[in-house]
Amino acid sequence: MTTRPAPPPSVPASVPIHPRAHAPARAPAAQRRDARATRARILEAARRELARDPDSRLEDIAAAAGVARRTVYVHFAGRAALVEGLASEAAEAIRLAVTGTSAATADAAADLARCVLTMWPVGDRYRTLIRLARGHDLLPARADELLAPARDLITAVLTHGGRQGVFQTTVPPAPLGRAVESQLLTLLDCVSRGIWSDDGTGAATAALIAAGVAPDTAAAKVAHVRGTGSPPSPF
């Protein structure tokens, strides 16, 4: 006769039966931290991919970030929201750069050089937005809003330098500032297209020349500011 296995012992009704143990849920703070890290990784991938190809698809960006496309949609409703995420990052970086720029000194030419040298790395990092603004991904009004703090700073420096007699006054500070801004944006676009490379030295020198400083003086001023971080002594 075949022996049947004994039935399992009965469990009191008061003792809950769990088919398998579950790991404790992650704390909300850890979940938020993970979400922020994933969002930052997606934005970084978007910055790189859109710099490589402004027409990059969300699939390309997701692959570069190492996430599924649906994960991108968890953080961004679509391409427009992703571009706005980059724009918000750029706006904060510009604000911090402007805030960290030294107050006006007795040497307005050095002030302008320092301003451009401070802003150039920010522009270089987010230069893909320049090309996106020329399409339909970033509205002109939003681009103007992003550039406003830097524009106001450059205009103030040009105003100060005009009073010192350092900069040309044929063109008033506000439109002259716009001209310098356009020049810098064009140079950044040249970097994006691979037809120029600069660490900010050439851009700062060009800005000083556009403002009316003699080329040799402009080059020497930028070299001094880059080397010391402060304007040369007037004595």
Phi/psi region, residue 212 (left: phi>0; alpha: psi -120 to 50; beta: rest), is: left
Report how far residue 75's alpha carbon sits from residue 96's, in angstroms, rounded to the nearest whole number. 25
**Better pLDDT: 167 or 22:** 167
Counting other chains too, the contacts that 135-143 makes at CB distance below 8 Å and 24 or more residues apart are: 135/54, 137/54, 137/79, 137/80, 137/83, 138/83, 138/87, 142/84, 142/87
Predicted pLDDT at 7: 57
**Burial status of residue 54 (CB atoms within 10 A of its CB: 0-12, 13-18, 19 or more):** middle
Comparing C-alpha atoms, which of 229, 227, 179 is closest to residue 206?
Answer: 179
- Asked if residues 122 and 132 have their Cβ atoms less than 8 Å apart, the reply is no
Percent of the chain with pLDDT over 90: 73
Report how far residue 114's alpha carbon sits from residue 215's, in angstroms, rounded to the nearest whole number. 17
Question: pLDDT by residue (tens digit) across 203-216?
Answer: 999 999 999 999 99
Using 50, 70 and 90 to split pLDDT, how confident is the model at 147?
very high
Model confidence, pTM:
0.80
Question: pLDDT by residue (tens digit) across 164-202?
Answer: 999 999 999 999 999 999 999 999 999 999 999 999 999
Structure tokens at 84: 């706005």
Whether 113 shows a pLDDT value over 80: the answer reads yes
Q: What domains does the chain contain, in order, with CATH numbers? A: 28-76 (1.10.10), 85-228 (1.10.357)
